Amino acid sequence: MELLAVKILVGFVVGILIGMSGVGGGVLLLPVLIFGLRVPAIIAVGSDALFNFFTKIPAGLLHLKRGTVRLNIVLALAVGSVPGSICGVKLLMHIRHLYGSGVNSFIKSAIGILLIVIPLLMLFQRRIEERVANRPPTMKGFAGMALIGLLAGFLVGMTSVGSGSIIMMLLLMFYSFSPKVNVGNDIVHAVILTGVTSFLHFELGNVDAGLVLTLLIGSIPGGLLGSHLSTRMPMLWLRRILCALLLITGARMLWA
């Protein structure tokens, strides 16, 4: 019962941070699962993917209702990300077949690298937005979205990190859609990507459904509270603090 309460509390705190900062659940939840709750890395990845799938659905539906989604862009991303995710999961299974539990060390290293790269990109997000603000997308650019999806899908398949953060940064760097459309496309595509990824991991027994359920019980009210607090908190400093913590956590994973 005590452990159950801890898991619900973890979901609640992560939900608050997601609602307040907009930082993706993968980068916030995975370190807690692996280091805090001692969940094996491969189970943490599968469970986190399913957690992200459920938490993205309400926001995705809201963006569809508001018309801030371009379905052709979502489709272009998914054309690359779905096979990319399959390749990422298959690579994990191949590594597990060769090295057994050693796959968990590989996953920690991969997550550690992403937890260093993503916060660094987040710190420069505003400069990236300003640099590409007046550059219109091209048809060639739309074709390149499939490549962005392929890279992100592969990373999500291996780590469950990147369905939002990696794609968002790459869209900012190479395209100039409005912020609302960027977010809407990113979230709706993330529903597809995390849905495919979590299904693949579930089929392979890499998902702890009970863990996901308890995390969701806490994260839903936490997300609502975080969204309410987001208008009353200094977001710039909050994001900087989170970035610093993620950088430290990433380094910890690499040298664990």
Q: Per residue in 14-35, pLDDT tens?
A: 888 877 766 667 778 888 899 8
Binned at pLDDT 50, 70 and 90, residue 74 comes out as: very high
pLDDT of residue 157: 94
Q: Across the chain, how many H-helices and E-strands are there? A: 11, 0
Question: Per the structure, how many domains does the chain have?
Answer: 1
More confidently predicted of 151 and 166: 151
pLDDT of residue 139: 47
- For residue 100, give Cα distances in angstroms to 90, 115, 159, 189: 14, 24, 17, 32
Q: Which domain holds residue 114?
A: 2-254
Q: What is the dihedral of CA 236, 237, 239, 241, to 10 degrees?
A: 170
More confidently predicted of 204 and 174: 204
Is the pLDDT at 124 greater than 90? The verdict is no
Tell me the average pLDDT across 200-207: 95
- For residue 247, give Cα distances in angstroms to 114, 204, 241, 244: 9, 31, 10, 5
- The whole-chain average pLDDT of the chain stands at 85
Tell me the average pLDDT across 130-151: 72
Is the pLDDT at 174 greater than 90? The verdict is no
Binned at pLDDT 50, 70 and 90, residue 177 comes out as: confident
Mean pLDDT comparison of 85-89, 104-108, 121-125, highest-scoring range: 85-89
pTM of the prediction? 0.89
